[in-house]
Chain A
Amino acid sequence: MDSFRTKLLVAMMLVVSIVAVAVLLFAQRNMARNVRLDFQREFQDELSALHAVQAVRHAALAERCRELARRPRIHAALEDGALDLLYPSARDELHDVMESDDSAVREPGAYTLRARYYRFLDSRGRVIAPPDASDVGELKPAEESQLSVGRLPDRPQTGYILRNAGTTSERVDEVIAMPIVSTENGETIAAIVVGFKPPSLGGGDADAWVQGGVWMGGHLDLRALSAESRAELAGQLGRAVAASGGDEGGFEFHGSDGPLLVSFKRLNPGSLFPPAYEVSVFPLAASISRERRLVWEFVAAGVLLLSGAFVASGFLSRRLSEPVERLAVDSEENREQRHRAEAALATTSQDLQRSARFSADASHQLKTPVTVLRAGLEGLLAGETLGPEARQEVSELVHQTFRLATVIDDLLLLSRMDAGRLQIQFSRLNLSPLLEALLDDLGALPDIFDLEIDADIPPELWITGEKRFAELILQNLLENARKYNHTGGKVQISATEQGDWAVVTIGNTGPAIPESSQAHIFERFHRGVVGENVPGHGIGLNLARELARLHGGDLRLSRSDGDWTEFELRFRLARGTGGGP
């Protein structure tokens, strides 16, 4: 029974484990996705916030440039033929705009709003050379040439130029080109280009969550990355920008600095300057470690859950298995009882079969010597050698052989019935002439009791049955009525139709059967206590009832009290009232 509990426990654990693992896996997958989405959302939020700040900054810078482009002295220098006064005037005008060492220290917040350098473009978009570069911010020739856009812009333009190309301090600057419109005729006559420190996400702080930089023409200015990673990312950005076709995109980058989430966005859409892209990188390491931690948390939760489930399953399986085990014990007992009963039944059946076979064999074995015996006795009777006394005794012996033959026949019949080999050949049978004949035979017998025979038999009474067995039943009953009678007694026979039945009652005078014996008179080899001096062998009534029942009818003792005993025999009525069989 322990195996049942173990099996139950294993099955429960299996189900619980599968469900728990499935749920945990699903939850973990879900959580991991949420974590990643959260990270991306945070990243996007951070970016949006920074973009908003940058937009304000850019608007402020553009407004500064626009203001500069309207300065009357600059207009005067450009429009009134005083180019020699252009840069000197601008120096005064831009004095508070330009970076200076001390201002950077004093107000770091305003630092990003300060210009690093400026140049004017002439009516053909070329740089007007400044007389003294130190006043306007030094630029290398290659850098200065990037300020020229080939033609004058009619709208403000944002551009990015590469500084210190090819060196370790390579960086990208942001420039704003602002057209200068003639006060006389509204035509664009020149432009001012002002260079600023580029916008930087994370503010150059290496520990900042999101790092930003600028990518332009294969060059990446992103101070937070190592040179190796930077070069690698720059190449990948080039491919991504070409592949995206649009102005923005993103990808995951696995460089020497660990996995990064990279997002790029065109900084100067529609600008005359070469396209530049803002690059934001977000280290995925934090996200990955968060995800990993999440996995471990889930594993721990799973282990806890499963051990809890194990304990619960053990408890439950014990609780559940107890009644089942009891049931199993009960059913085991039941089975044993059944086995015993079956064995007993088999034994009984075998005994029955054996006895049936025995009686059949005995009948056959006995009939032959009885016949031989009778023939011998009749031979003696036929001879002249016997005296009258001896002759009387031999005659009695011959009579006894008939009795013996009858007993043997009855036993044979019974054994056939017990073996189930007796088949009734049903047919329509008129009971009335059969009864008449039997009564005639009864009357012909030597009557020692001087009996009165009273018969009430209808002219026709059709039953279904086999004639010889019906005859045997009636014969037995009539014989008993005669045998268990007394002098001057009476035998009464009546036959009637009652519903589907033909009912024959045979009553006789004589001592009643004691109540204690009434229940046993139909048992085989039972003999009434009264019949010690009456010939019989105790199988007549048994045989009669068995035969009646085989006919679908019955035989019962309907009355036995005082001086009257009555049996009731039932046969099935034959349908219809046609002629004889």
Chain B
Amino acid sequence: MTLTGIRRLSALAGLSALQVTQALGQASVEGKVQLPKSPQAPVMNKRYGIVSYNGVLSPYPPRAVVYLDGAFPRPESPPAATMVQKDLTFVPSVLPVQVGTRVAFPNLDDTYHNIFSYSPAKRFDLGRYRSDERPIPSVLFDVVGMVTVRCDIHEHMRAIILVLDTPHFALTDTEGAYRLDSLPTGHFVLRVWLDSRTTLERPVDLTAAALRADFP
């Protein structure tokens, strides 16, 4: 799959969340997040065709997840998301989902994958399967938290599924720019997830006017 294809897929994943929240309000936030420097030198691994350093996968530049914290009604029907395995990587590498979302893990490679997670928010093990596995194995993420997804066969494959208690979230672009639309007005806390150990937050008063919020 080409890079364009991957972008389209990630856009799809974000869009489904946005569609739910669109009707709720007209407030919007945009800004820029200072992204952490990639700890790895982007070296192409010949065997896998991906960038690996010390066993750490970094197929793409880091991106942050910006989300609006607060109590929001759960969606009636569980939203769905997809994280594919393509070219021995997870796409996208960071996937924010609203709690209750079922994420499908289609295998687009010619080889076996074994998706599992030991994260307390969701422990699962899908076992080995190939691209012809039907139905496509999926996992329901019903606990808020960060889930690290790995492949038991390919040690470098690693992805994050961020299970959020909010429908209002967005993935920054590689420059750190983000935009959240259709937000409810009122007093909220805007959070930015950078990595497993770093979450930034700032209170925001959302009005009809567009708000600018940069981190930090």
B112 within 8 A of A: no
Q: A71-B155, A72-B151, A186-B40 are in contact. Are A81 and B120 (CB under 8 A)?
A: yes
Which among B54, B119, B120 is the interface contact of A186 at CB below 8 angstroms?
A: B54
Give the CA-CA distance A70 to B157 in the complex, in Å: 12
Per-residue interface assignment for chain B, residues 133 to 161, with 1 indicating a CB less than 8 Å from any chain A CB and 0 otherwise: 00000000000000010111111111000
A475 within 8 A of B: no
B15 within 8 A of A: no
Per-residue interface assignment for chain A, residues 183 to 196, with 1 indicating a CB less than 8 Å from any chain B CB and 0 otherwise: 11110000000000
Contact A73 B39 (CB under 8 A): no
Q: A71-B155, A73-B152 are in contact. Are A82 and B118 (CB under 8 A)?
A: yes
Which among B55, B148, B153, B154 is the interface contact of A76 at CB below 8 angstroms?
A: B148
Contacting residues of chain B (21-73) with chain A, CB-CB under 8 angstroms: 39-40, 53-57
B173 within 8 A of A: no
Q: A73-B118, A80-B119, A81-B120 are in contact. Are A181 and B152 (CB under 8 A)?
A: no
Which residues in A have their C-beta under 8 angstroms from that of B8? none
Distance to closest chain B CB from A147 (angstroms): 23
Q: How many A-B residue pairs have CB under 8 A?
A: 64
Contacting residues of chain B (109-124) with chain A, CB-CB under 8 angstroms: 116-120, 123
> Which of under 10, 10 to 19, 20 to 34, or 35 or more describes the interface residues of A?
10 to 19
Q: A80-B118, A80-B119, A82-B123 are in contact. Are A186 and B39 (CB under 8 A)?
A: yes
Distance to closest chain A CB from B105 (angstroms): 15
Which residues in B have their C-beta under 8 angstroms from that of A184? 56, 158, 195-196
Contact B56 A183 (CB under 8 A): yes
A329 within 8 A of B: no
A182 within 8 A of B: yes
Per-residue interface assignment for chain A, residues 65 to 106, with 1 indicating a CB less than 8 Å from any chain B CB and 0 otherwise: 000001111011101111001000100000000000000000
Contact A77 B118 (CB under 8 A): yes
Which among B118, B195, B196 is the interface contact of A85 at CB below 8 angstroms?
A: B118
Give the CA-CA distance A85 to B124 in the complex, in Å: 12
Distance to closest chain A CB from B185 (angstroms): 37
Contact B155 A70 (CB under 8 A): yes
Contact B148 A79 (CB under 8 A): yes
Per-residue interface assignment for chain A, residues 313 to 331, with 1 indicating a CB less than 8 Å from any chain B CB and 0 otherwise: 0000000000000000000
Which residues in A have their C-beta under 8 angstroms from that of B156? 183
Contact B118 A186 (CB under 8 A): no
Give the CA-CA distance A81 to B121 in the complex, in Å: 10
Chain B residue nearest in CB terms to A79: B148
Distance to closest chain B CB from A181 (angstroms): 4
Give the CA-CA distance A181 to B195 in the complex, in Å: 17
Chain B residue nearest in CB terms to A185: B39
Which residues in A have their C-beta under 8 angstroms from that of B196? 184
Chain A residue nearest in CB terms to B157: A72
Which among B117, B153, B157 is the interface contact of A80 at CB below 8 angstroms?
A: B117
Distance to closest chain A CB from B33 (angstroms): 18
Chain A residue nearest in CB terms to B40: A186
Contact B150 A72 (CB under 8 A): yes
Give the CA-CA distance A79 to B54 in the complex, in Å: 15
Give the CA-CA distance A76 to B55 in the complex, in Å: 13
Chain A residue nearest in CB terms to B57: A183
Contact B56 A182 (CB under 8 A): yes
Contact B116 A73 (CB under 8 A): yes
Chain B residue nearest in CB terms to A67: B155
Which residues in A have their C-beta under 8 angstroms from that of B120? 80-82
Chain A residue nearest in CB terms to B145: A81
Which residues in A have their C-beta under 8 angstroms from that of B55? 70, 75, 181, 183
Distance to closest chain A CB from B109 (angstroms): 16
Which residues in A have their C-beta under 8 angstroms from that of B155? 70-72, 75, 183
Chain A residue nearest in CB terms to B153: A72
Which residues in B have their C-beta under 8 angstroms from that of A79? 148
Distance to closest chain A CB from B155 (angstroms): 5
Contact B119 A75 (CB under 8 A): no
Which among B119, B151, B157, B195 is the interface contact of A82 at CB below 8 angstroms?
A: B119
Distance to closest chain A CB from B10 (angstroms): 20
Give the CA-CA distance A174 to B56 in the complex, in Å: 29
Distance to closest chain B CB from A479 (angstroms): 151
Distance to closest chain A CB from B36 (angstroms): 9
Which residues in A have their C-beta under 8 angstroms from that of B154? 72
Which residues in A have their C-beta under 8 angstroms from that of B158? 183-184
Q: A181-B56, A182-B56 are in contact. Are A76 and B117 (CB under 8 A)?
A: yes
Distance to closest chain A CB from B141 (angstroms): 15
Which residues in B have their C-beta under 8 angstroms from that of A72? 116, 150-155, 157
Give the CA-CA distance A186 to B57 in the complex, in Å: 10
Which residues in B have their C-beta under 8 angstroms from that of A75? 55, 150, 155
Contact B118 A76 (CB under 8 A): yes
Give the CA-CA distance A181 to B156 in the complex, in Å: 12
Which residues in B have their C-beta under 8 angstroms from that of A71? 155
Give the CA-CA distance A182 to B39 in the complex, in Å: 11
Q: Which of A73, A76, A181 has the most CB of B within 10 A?
A: A76
Contact B56 A186 (CB under 8 A): yes
Which among B56, B148, B151, B153 is the interface contact of A185 at CB below 8 angstroms?
A: B56
Q: Provide a sorted-by-A list of 16 A–B residue pairs whose CB atoms are within 8 angstroms.
A: A70-B55, A71-B155, A72-B116, A72-B150, A72-B151, A75-B150, A76-B148, A80-B118, A181-B56, A182-B54, A183-B54, A183-B156, A184-B195, A184-B196, A185-B56, A186-B56
Which residues of B come within 8 Å of A, CB atoms?
39-40, 53-57, 116-120, 123, 148, 150-158, 195-196
Q: A71-B155, A72-B150, A184-B56 are in contact. List 6 more A-B contacts (CB 8 A).
A: A80-B120, A81-B119, A82-B123, A89-B118, A182-B54, A186-B53
Which residues of A come within 8 Å of B, CB atoms?
70-73, 75-77, 79-82, 85, 89, 181-186
Return the 10 tightest CB-CB contacts between A and B, nearest first: A82-B118, A76-B118, A181-B54, A72-B150, A80-B148, A80-B119, A80-B118, A186-B54, A183-B56, A72-B155
